[in-house]
Structure 1
């Protein structure tokens, strides 16, 4: 179990200049709205023990150079539970964030809704959800830090509902608290580590690294830009392939640079989001996050050369929608032989996941730039490609289907796969002539297009 920080202790981890927001107090009722015997006494004891008047402390603070609204739960005050006065404070804090255009950082540690206020306490979750939704509509990021413990409605709104979820190692995190879950439930499933593995949280962050990590996230997510991201220069072979089959062989070569090499060369720093928020991750097939490129923020979703799984497509769709809402341009790297097509992928909703990504890219208002860096295998690759702003490297190809599979469908012998590759016109220069891609990027710092008549990447306008 992680050390249980107080609200002030959690705030001290991320800022040195916290200023608490003032909140008007609503008229009270003896022992609360339900007249719960001993409620006033319990509140008084909690206030004396913690020095707080409620279970949440709200204010503003500078987090490594970025001003934010900070919402810190005090678990020592009735288990950090949400009551009507908690809802008042949370609603006012989100309103302050919108009025002053500030990101919101909930530092969550709560056991859920306050029993002594009954359904009135539970309905505070609706207030919190609406305040969060309004803030989301204003284009402001929300980055949650889940502490020990984070359970119940607090996890299901302020925690899991944030754009990015960072978790302290060892924290108890889950919808069901320890006293209400099944007796035979595996406690390991209700941990920060388990939530990261299941794609419900993005990363584990140790307390001593929290300020730097949170500050990095806040800087990246609060820098909108209207200009499209330029495609990276090619890192592999410079010459164009002579035949379709040569294009296939070069794209499949184990020596060809992969997504990580492109991301490392393109960004001076980057942070990753992990998981589709539906119980799945695809760390071996899709890399998603935000990075700094020439002083501005660019979001990225990059295939790694393997068959992309449904969770990978859903994570990419989540990334594109978040970047779109925050006004951050997106770079996608296409490199997959195709979508995973095993039975488990079908059970995980491969078709729906690919459709969701197609929709996210098609409806994005922020500019999306795509570079095909390897294999472009059918619809599983096309879902990540930007219509009208896709580029290719010299060692890539894009095909309606793999040449071997095309030959099989056409009832040709396997040895005709090479001929079929040429007929499909899948070389980078073929794709330019067909109007499928804008150009072939070159090697070097400028990355200028190699095909005749193609504008350079820097000349593109959305």
Structure 2
């Protein structure tokens, strides 16, 4: 194992690099102490930690003293987390056993090289099974890692991420994220039904377009770390005029439990690192099918509500499309929410309101008006601070 300071782009970081050629990168008592010392040095210097992991776990020949290093390493990871210092892990081939569970999976951002063996149990221990679930692609699909990065792209991607999350950069970012500029300028709608139609229009700008205009560059992360991934929730960190801003953006469809847990994870990480947050709201509502219920959609939405409520960093929200009930409200900042002229927000969709009230389809437009869901209604009711564009 090589521990030291390294320069990635224009920033320094503390490096922990495993050499699998030596005893399979196995960690014993001395190696565990070196990892802990590297984390302590990062805390003293306030530098990010980048761990390049390629290990079979703890040394069998050192017995319980080697196994104890997992506790030592976990404490070291926690110590820098409490100091708002980021830890970035790269899973290389292979990453198994205790170094996956105690070091890599404990990182704030987890990258992996394609095709790498990643599992808690090695192939011999688990009886030779070798499906995709034991490789980095499977871990990515299951939301346990953030991104797959080919070896040749690692230097650039790591430099980008270290720059965005470096304590020396984010220390100057306590101010709220600016409200994005609306990508369309439209006259106010006359009726609630028109507001719903405009928000559902296919040509309306979506989250990807807003993020592309708002940020000079961005680094997306994804996955809820518990087995799920939702491509309709875009999360990550971006550069805007030299400032780092975190973002969680809905993409216009019903979000799954994994989407809300990913957004909550992003907001908690941003709060831990002292980075302001921007959320873009655009969903007809949370997923409510059998799969969503089995996956814990209620607790997942609760996680998002709690992450926003608990954040000490400022959260700025722009509603850019549909604001469907609790699934949209979970990402909305209570005191800092704006809305575009392409959007609406409602306690329930007009069609669902008609179903509850046993009204016919022709009565849906009338209900849309009674719900007071237009941007101007929401401003008058004090729900939003302003209508953008």
Whether the 8 Å CA contact 2:233–2:263 is kept in 1: the answer is yes
Whether the 8 Å CA contact 1:240–1:395 is kept in 2: the answer is no
| Matched residue, 1:200 | 144
Residue 270 (structure 1) aligned with residue 236 (structure 2): no
Whether the 8 Å CA contact 2:123–2:130 is kept in 1: the answer is no
Residue of structure 2 aligned with 1:301, choices 248, 252, 256: 248
Partner Cα distance (1:295, 1:88) in 2: 37
Secondary structure of the 1:160 match is helix
Query: What is the TM-score normalised by the length of structure 1?
Result: 0.82
Whether the 8 Å CA contact 2:192–2:369 is kept in 1: the answer is yes
Secondary structure of the 1:420 match is helix
1:62-461 correspondence runs (5 A): 62-183=7-128, 185-222=129-166, 223-224=169-170, 225-283=173-231, 285-442=232-389
- Displacement over 3 Å in runs of 4+: none
Query: For structure 1, which segment, 413-422 or 121-130, has the greater mean C-alpha deviation from structure 2 after superposition?
Result: 413-422
Give unpaired runs (5+ residues) of structure 1: 1-55, 443-462
Partner Cα distance (2:322, 2:113) in 1: 38
Q: Which is higher, the Rg of structure 1 or of structure 2? A: 1
Aligned residue pairs: how many? 385
| Matched residue, 1:43 | none
Measured after TM superposition, the shift of residue 237 of structure 1 is: 4.1
Whether the 8 Å CA contact 2:4–2:38 is kept in 1: the answer is yes
Partner Cα distance (2:188, 2:97) in 1: 57
Measured after TM superposition, the shift of residue 125 of structure 1 is: 0.2
Q: Quote the RMSD (CA, aligned, Å).
A: 0.9
Partner Cα distance (1:178, 1:79) in 2: 13
Partner Cα distance (1:198, 1:236) in 2: 37
**C-alpha distance after superposition, 1:376-418 (max 9, x if no partner):** 0000000000111000000100000001111221222221111
